[in-house]
Chains A and B, each alone.
Chain A
Amino acid sequence: MELAIEALSLQKRYAEVQAVAGINLQIARGEYFGMLGPNGAGKTTTVAMIYCFLPIEGGELYVLDMDVRKQARAIKARLGVVPQENNLDEELTVLENLLIYASYFGIDRQTATKRALAQLEFFELTAKQHVDVEALSGGMKRRLTIARAMMNEPDILILDEPTTGLDPEARHYIWQHLKQLKKTGLTLLLTTHYLEEASQLCDRIVVLDEGRILEEGQPAALITQHVGATVIEATLPQREHDSLLQTVQALLNGYMVIGETLYLHPGYNITTVLAKVQEHSKVETLTQRPANLEDVFLKLTGRRFGGA
């Protein structure tokens, strides 16, 4: 397997905080790889080391078989980077943004124009090409930032929270574009808060918390392994939890408690568990839904994804 990115006990600390506490990553070429984690998990710090913005502090890091400590310039020439915060040239037009960005790579004007028009076409921004960036919507700005990152025809596209703050429609729109790029053999490294985003796009994910990798695998496999297909949510007063659990515990793969809510993982015993919960007189609300990555996260950390 040819590796796009390899990190060996990678570390980074800011004055007080150990932001990345020794992580190992192996991302294959052509893979769509996701880093999931709550605020402050160390996602941005990790990807910023990969795109050679932050110097690494401990461990080793190779990108496209090059050492980030020695070959930053050559690595950066092969990357496309979409940072967490938009940093387009607001005073310039959409097209100018792409052309200027291409000039940073030393791409000649003619090639740059050709690529820029193709990218605008692909990201459906052609109609906006002569509009100043200031006037674009959030979703369009994000698409333009991705288009910009594609100007050097990168081997690896790094996206730090590409859809945070966008409405669901704009988000799906971006996913659709990113999925199409997979055919070109692109490697994608994505950080996200959205478990759905990771499930939709990624072949493989890691769950990161407090600078450590908690779990790694295919999204669906992680869900099956840790939770099972279905989750039953029941709310009832906390003092009644034990009495309910006594009746169902033997049937469960596992469960989680957050406040008044019980998250039951019934595995294959869905109907039996559901019946028992319905019988319990103190249950106030009851829902059955497909398990998702949030449940995995909850199980792994005992916390909700938002950190609450």
Chain B
Amino acid sequence: MHNYFQAFLSLNRYAWRVFARNMAVFKKTYKANIAFNFFEPLLYLAAMGMGLGAFVGSINGISYVQFIAPGMIASSAMWAASSECTYDSFVRMKMEKIYHAIVVTPINLHEVIAGELFTGTLKSVLYGSVILLVITGLGLVTSFYALLVPFVLLLCGIIFSELGMIWTGLVAKIDSFSYFFTLIITPMYLFSGVFFPIEALPDIVQTVAWFLPLYHVVTVLRSLVLGLISPALFGHILWLLCFAILIFPLPLLLIHKRFIK
């Protein structure tokens, strides 16, 4: 329990230095990466929005492509953070031994992980925001509340960075990351209201969806993009905030247990 609370002390300037290191590397490689990252959501938007949209007509009074567009922001942000804190972090930890290089300086391992989480978060905000710009260009954004999207992506980013890092702390091999995506990320993608309103599904599914962070992210993003503001949004934001804070120590403690013998 003591360790759990102690973990929050890692949100300090040392963690920031790790983040700065990752940004320095990112600056050199982003051109190749960023193109790939927004290609996929756009593919979905085109295929589902136009293809499926032709059959679906409208949902709750908006066109189908307009319905799924905010979901593409969320999914892009989710994938960015999750892959950063699984594959990329694993490579830094196990293959490139970057953690080892850093923890022999005044920075400790918890701070390294906190810095990794910041990195996942930043990429999440960035890749989500790129999609926001694109759908704005396509005329799918109808409200200035959309300017608040990056703040929601901060929460989305930290949560999926944490989840990815927890998995990294639990699994022993890089192959096991595909399970994370098949068992956790993809189901979440499908049942969080990205492609259809979950109100259409049985009560039990709706209850389950309430426990999925992506559901809350998608709901808030859609409301902001379409300007459908209601007090209920604060409930979703609060949910995300609590979840992000409560699980924060877990990746730090798990990686520590795994990394230091």
The B contact surface, by secondary structure, is helix
- A101 & B24 in contact (Cβ 8 Å cutoff): no
- A33-41, A86-94, A171-179 - the one binding chain B: A86-94
- A85 & B17 in contact (Cβ 8 Å cutoff): no
- A91 & B20 in contact (Cβ 8 Å cutoff): no
Query: With the chains together, A288 CA to B261 CA distance in Å?
Result: 47
Residues of A within 8 A of B17 (CB): 103-104, 106
Query: With the chains together, A52 CA to B104 CA distance in Å?
Result: 7
- B260 & A83 in contact (Cβ 8 Å cutoff): no
Identity of the chain B residue whose Cβ is nearest the Cβ of A19 in the assembled complex: B261
- A74-82, A192-200, A224-232 - the one binding chain B: A74-82
Within residues 89 to 109 of chain A, which ones have a CB less than 8 A from any CB in chain B?
89-92, 96, 100-101, 103-106
Within residues 84 to 138 of chain B, which ones have a CB less than 8 A from any CB in chain A?
96-98, 100-108
Query: With the chains together, A76 CA to B108 CA distance in Å?
Result: 10
CB distance from B98 to the nearest CB of A (A): 6
Residues of B within 8 A of A51 (CB): 104
For the complex, is B21 an interface residue (Cβ under 8 Å from A)?
yes
- A89 & B104 in contact (Cβ 8 Å cutoff): no
Identity of the chain A residue whose Cβ is nearest the Cβ of B24 in the assembled complex: A100
- Known contacts A104-B102, A105-B105: does B25 contact A85 (CB below 8 Å)? no
For the complex, is B29 an interface residue (Cβ under 8 Å from A)?
yes
For the complex, is B173 an interface residue (Cβ under 8 Å from A)?
no
- B105 & A53 in contact (Cβ 8 Å cutoff): no
For the complex, is B2 an interface residue (Cβ under 8 Å from A)?
no
- A106 & B106 in contact (Cβ 8 Å cutoff): yes
- B261 & A14 in contact (Cβ 8 Å cutoff): yes
Identity of the chain B residue whose Cβ is nearest the Cβ of A99 in the assembled complex: B24
Contact flags A38-50 to B (C-beta < 8 A → 1, else 0): 0000000000000
Q: Which 8 A-B pairs have the closest CB atoms?
A: A87-B97, A104-B105, A81-B104, A87-B101, A77-B106, A73-B106, A76-B106, A100-B21
Between A and B, 22 residue pairs with Cβ closer than 8 Å are A14-B261, A53-B260, A54-B260, A72-B108, A76-B105, A76-B106, A79-B104, A83-B100, A83-B101, A83-B104, A86-B97, A87-B98, A87-B100, A90-B96, A100-B20, A103-B20, A104-B17, A104-B105, A104-B106, A104-B107, A105-B105, A106-B106
B interface with A by C-beta (< 8 Å): 13, 17-18, 20-21, 24-25, 28-29, 96-98, 100-108, 260-261
